[in-house]
Amino acid sequence: MAKEVLIQIASTQSYEEGSEERMEFSAAGTLHKREGSYYIVYRDSATAGTAEVTTSLKVEPAKVTLNRMGAIDQKQIFEQGVRHSSTYVTPQGSLFLQVLTEEMKIDLTEQGGNITLKYNLFFDEQWVSHNSLRINIKEDAPQ
């Protein structure tokens, strides 16, 4: 059964010239475990501006799969040491991206926990940025 959770996300993108972009947001969502994997689902308007996107994360012991559906469509796999490709589809067009995950830390139970991903982002085989993504999942307090 899915548990109501609060999901806090912090990301940092670092570029070659030394600049950084940071983004933080929170969303209500659900967490459940099925067949040894955790599933986290939330609705997110921060990624697409004002349009809504449903994001799901499938968290396995050595792999995280991100699925975005709605104003943005994307399926991205994070697996340490492996370069994975994806297509990032927006109303303005599609981008062909790759990520090479350098570090992955997963500390997740049915009560919540943390996921940390550090990866390099590539566009058309060219390095774009070094990224850090921190996701904190905790039980949603009753209102």
Predicted confidence at residue 44, as pLDDT, reads 81
Residue with the bigger pLDDT between 98 and 51: it is 98
The 8-class DSSP code of residue 111 comes to T
Per-residue buried b or exposed e for 31-59, using 16+ beta carbons within 10 Å of the residue's own CB: beeeeeebbbbbebeebeeeeebebbbbb
Q: Is the pLDDT of residue 22 over 80?
A: yes
pTM of the predicted structure, to 2 decimals: 0.90
User: What amino acid occupies position 95?
Assistant: L
**Of 9-23, 34-48, 64-78, where does mean pLDDT reach its minimum?**
34-48
pLDDT digits (tens, 9 = 90+) for 47-78: 555 568 999 999 999 999 999 999 899 999 99
User: What are the strands of the beta sheet with 74-78, ordered from one edge?
Assistant: 74-78, 63-70, 53-60, 37-44, 20-34, 3-14, 126-139, 112-123, 93-109, 83-90
The phi and psi torsions of 19 (rounded to 5 degrees) equal -80, 160
